[in-house]
Structure 1
Amino acid sequence: MNHIFYLMGKSSSGKDTIYKRILSEMELSPIVLYTTRPAREDEEDGREYFFVSRERFKGMQSEGKIIEYRIYNTVFGEWIYFTSEDSIPSDSRDCVGIGTLESYIKIRDHFGSGVVVPVYIEVDDDIRFLRAVEREKKQKKPKYLELCRRFVADSADFSEEKLSEAGIVLRFDNSGSADECLLSIKKYINDIKSGLD
């Protein structure tokens, strides 16, 4: 199997934007995860996620198609995010995906550490919080309570201890110029693909 480049970072670290740009600027196949949460206004089914019901999740789970899943108790109820066998493209190109540290570990354990390559994006907390508020303000029905819940949960989900346990050493700073961060990530991906790293 080719490489799976797996983008991670706390909420509002800019990973979604970087993910979209990598897909448009590099020859990588997208990994599209599933979720039971409702789509945001700017999201499209099958692009950011496959948006499915809990019943569909349970059906796929009983069929043994799910590689990993996470359940979040949000202020709007339980939301499930998961990776299915059909999330990983079967073509011959390297892939790029986006997710949490927990999902990275499970996918790495499933496919092997030689296949799954972590790409951790980091942003100062004050910048992340302001970005999150600005993004939420653009929604018809802003979910500020959920924004705050996620922001606090990120401290535990991406603690230094958990990052260290997962072997995350290299970090890409996206506090300043998104273009500079993207260039660094693209160089890293190209170096891995070329066997230089």
Structure 2
Amino acid sequence: MLVLVGESASGKDYIKQTLIEKYGFKPMITYTSRPMREGEKQHSTYHFISEEDFKKKINEHFFAEWKKYKTVEGTWYYGTALEDCHRADADTIAILAPDGVRDLQDKNIKMYVIYIYANLRTRMQRLSLRGDNQEEVNRRIKTDEYDFQGVEVLADHITRNHFNDEIYDVVDDIIDAYNSYLM
């Protein structure tokens, strides 16, 4: 399983989608209790479930990893099903937070972790272009500073994705590193 890790607006979702479209990766669909955004699809973007159902799944040990975020808009949960992790193969791609990577490592889930580094200036530009709520942008940036401390030690490979970098160069770097790992 290929796992992408990166701060808010580092380009994880776009890179994941490019890898799916260009190289045929299969996305691992994770769970969330947050509201569906425009353009997202149930069981395609996420498995959208209620907070109550999410908490029930936590108690049933359904998740290999999960995280709770206190956002400007409320408390949101995200998690990855343990069964999905066990079924994952070399063509599976997932996006995880550093704590999620640690949780999967603790469960001996086989994965190759790519840290997508984008500097703060780039991430702020991207968040502004997305039109995100400024209070939420500030919260995410501050949370990322804490959550991503020492993330480099979790990564098997680090690639950069700054504002002017060509996305296909970034994707090719990821593919080259992953193929070397698989050999």
TM-score in same-fold range (> 0.5): yes
Can you list the C-alpha shifts for 1:7-51, whole angstroms capped at 9, x where unaligned?
A: 010000011000011111223321111111112212222222111
- Give how far 1:53 is off: 0.4
- The equivalent position to 2:12 in structure 1, one of 10, 15, 23, is 15
Q: Distance in 1 between matches of 2:157 and 2:65?
A: 24
- Map 1:17-96; keep pairs closer than 5 Å: 17-88=14-85, 90=87, 94-96=91-93
Q: Distance in 2 between matches of 1:26 and 1:188?
A: 14
* Paired position in structure 2 for 1:118: 113
Q: What fraction of aligned residue pairs are identical, expressed as a percent?
A: 27
* Paired position in structure 2 for 1:149: 139
- Give how far 1:83 is off: 1.0
Contact 1:32 1:88 in 2 (8 A): no
Can you list the C-alpha shifts for 1:94-116, whole angstroms capped at 9, x where unaligned?
A: 3110021111111122134xx11
Give every structure 1 segment of 4 or more consecutive aligned residues whose post-TM-superposition deviation is greater than 2 Å.
61-64, 85-94, 166-170
- Give how far 1:89 is off: 7.2
Q: Are residues 1:192 and 2:171 paired?
A: no
Q: How many residues align?
A: 181
- Give how far 1:92 is off: 5.5
Q: Distance in 2 between matches of 1:21 and 1:88?
A: 21
RMSD in angstroms over aligned alpha carbons? 1.9
Q: Distance in 1 between matches of 2:155 and 2:124?
A: 23
The unaligned stretches of length 5 or more in structure 2 are: none
Q: TM-score, normalised by structure 2?
A: 0.89
| Inter-CA distance 144–39: structure 2 relative to 1 (3 Å threshold) | farther
Q: Distance in 1 between matches of 2:105 and 2:92?
A: 13
Contact 1:123 1:174 in 2 (8 A): yes
Q: TM-score, normalised by structure 1?
A: 0.84
* Paired position in structure 1 for 2:171: 182
Letter of the 1:117 partner, please give it.
Y
| Inter-CA distance 117–25: structure 2 relative to 1 (3 Å threshold) | same
Letter of the 1:123 partner, please give it.
A
